Amino acid sequence: MHDDNNRFPRLPWILLGLGIIFLAIGSYIGLFVAPPEALMGQVQRIMYVHVPTAWNALLALTFAFVCAVIFLFKSDWKWDARMEAAIEVGVVLGFLLCCQGSIWAKPTWGVWWDWDPRLTTTAVLVFAFLGILALRKFVEDPGRRAIWSAVATIIASVDVPIVYYSVRWWNSLHQLQSSPSTVSRQFWLPLRMNAFGILFLMTAFIMLRARVASMRLAQELVPPPAVGERV
Amino acid sequence: MLTAALRKELLLQWRSRAQFMAVFVFGAAALLLFSFAVGPVAEMLRQFSAGFLWLGLLLSSTLTLAESFHAEMENRAMEGLLLLPANPRALYYGKAIANWLQLTLLGIALIPVMVVLYDAGTTRIPMLILVIALGTAGLSAPGTLYAAMTAQVRSKQTLLPLLLFPLIVPALLASVKATSLIILGDPMNQMRSWIVLLASFDAIYWSLCGLLFGNVVEE
């Protein structure tokens, strides 16, 4: 079987290397070169990983949603493998995001957790997609597994903006999103470097994971050997 | 077609009304237990009563929803239903509406328990029933769809809440807020926005889940 998820076998490794280099340089600048922020001081330096993680987590889960929609229309297995990869990477990034947020929140807000819209939405998101990963583990038939998890992914993705706005009405404390346009130039470079670093790492992980998923699928879909045949 | 599907569901539910009683007792027991978590402080219990009511309803709803495809799983009845010249959408809406009615009834039955245990009386009963109806609609639309999936896999009791709970956060939030505004009073006039949020959640999921149900059951 020709595997579309393995068309560029070297690319993920190149991206992985690039990602590590970008992340190392970006973090170095962020930690040692960029000046500390006026109000929050050194604690603010976590922004250089926190904000890029947030962008990329959202990007990975958006890609999972796109994969789910394409799979339901085209029924092509490669999109199922890509969706599985994107959900896993997105959940890991989302979990890291919550951890980094807690580390930042303790010295800044004085609490580990706060019921702020973005924080709560991220937590809900992580749980929703963990549920979908669990569903994939419990369904043995690959066809059903693919369709059901695509359906669940679409339903969970539609929920994200609703959760965000409902929690926002409910309670709010988080500062406005940081983006290169809201921070001054000295903070801009490490933020961009790390954003691309994590983007490369994420893409590489999704590609590698999709390849593994494709290989597993190929093994599952292969007809069982005839009786008496040597395996 | 829809009415036929709905009639079948309601008949099934009527014949298994012992199940409804059991779920009600479960919900009432949950409400009793919640008060032990807070302690016998009347003012605090009253403050949290809306949240407790909805948590009790949510926990009971997973029992109701997980059971709702029980009949279809026996003797491969689901395949028989799909062979009928009927749209699977009608099957879905029949089942979802039946689940919704049952959960609304359960919610209404739990109100007196809440009032007695938490001293959370109110005179705005029609409004409270409206909120319960809207909130349980939000539970039953995605709940019925997920139940159709999880009924066919191992460990469905774990999987259904795992999928459902994160999803219905907005509906739960809005229902709890609206209910507590009814019980504790609404000085800022926020009721409207929570009702609108609930209604839009319902509208989105009743249409989206109906659209996707065909994919879930078709082979």
B81-99 pLDDT, tens digit each:
777 777 888 889 989 999 9
Which residues of chain B does A135 touch, with a Cβ-Cβ cutoff of 8 Å?
Answer: 149-150, 153, 159, 163
Q: Looking at the 3D structure of chain B, how many domains does it have?
A: 1
Please indicate if any CB of chain B lies within 8 Å of the CB of A70: no
Q: What's the rounded Cα separation, in Å, for the pair B54 and B60?
A: 10
In this prediction the pTM is 0.85
- Mean pLDDT, chain A, rounded, equals 84
> Distance (Å, rounded) from C-alpha A54 to C-alpha B141?
30
Q: Where are the alpha helices (DSSP H) in A75-141?
A: 77-109, 117-138
This complex has an ipTM of: 0.85
Bridge partners (DSSP) of residue A37 are A41
Tokens of B165: 């709970």
Say whether B163 and A152 touch across the interface (CB within 8 A).
Answer: yes
Average pLDDT over residues A108-134: 87
Q: How confident is residue B123, by pLDDT bands cut at 50, 70 and 90?
A: confident
**Inter-chain CB proximity A135 and B167 less than 8 Å:** no
Judged against a pLDDT cut of 80, whether residue A162 lies above it is answered with: yes
B115 vs A5, more confident: B115
Q: Are residues B162 and A162, on separate chains, in Cβ contact within 8 Å?
A: no
Please tell me which of the candidates B149, B167, B174 has its beta carbon nearest to residue A148. B149
Round to whole Å and give the CA distance between B97 and B103. 10
In chain A, what residues touch B173 (CB-CB under 8 Å)?
A: 166-167, 170
Asked whether residue A173 carries a pLDDT value surpassing 50, the answer given is no
CB contact under 8 A, A131 and B162: yes
Q: What are B45-48's contacts with CB under 8 Å, separation 24+?
A: B45/B117, B45/B118, B45/B119, B45/B120, B46/B118, B46/B119, B46/B120, B46/B183, B46/B184, B47/B180, B47/B184, B48/B118
Q: Does the pLDDT of residue A164 top 60, yes or no?
A: yes
Greater model confidence, B216 or A154: A154
Using a 10 angstrom Cβ sphere, with 0-12 exposed, 13-18 middle and 19 or more buried, the burial of residue A16 is: middle
Q: Is the pLDDT of residue A172 over 90?
A: no
Q: Which domain holds residue B188?
A: 2-217
Q: What is the C-alpha radius of gyration for chain A, rounded to an integer number of angstroms?
A: 20
- DSSP 8-state assignment for residue B121: -
Q: A16 vs A13, A21, A195, A206, A218, CA distance in Å?
A: 5, 9, 14, 11, 25
Q: Which pLDDT score, from 0 to 100, does residue A129 have?
A: 94
Which residue on chain B is closest to A127 by alpha carbon? B166
What pLDDT is recorded for position A1? Answer: 44
Q: Is A133 on the interface with B (CB under 8 A)?
A: no
Question: A105 versus B208: which is more confidently predicted?
Answer: B208
Q: What is the mean pLDDT of chain B?
A: 87
Cβ of A127: how many Cβ atoms within 10 Å?
A: 18
Chain A segment 5-64 residues within 8 A of B by beta carbon are: none
If one compares B190 and B22, the residue with the highest pLDDT of the two is B22
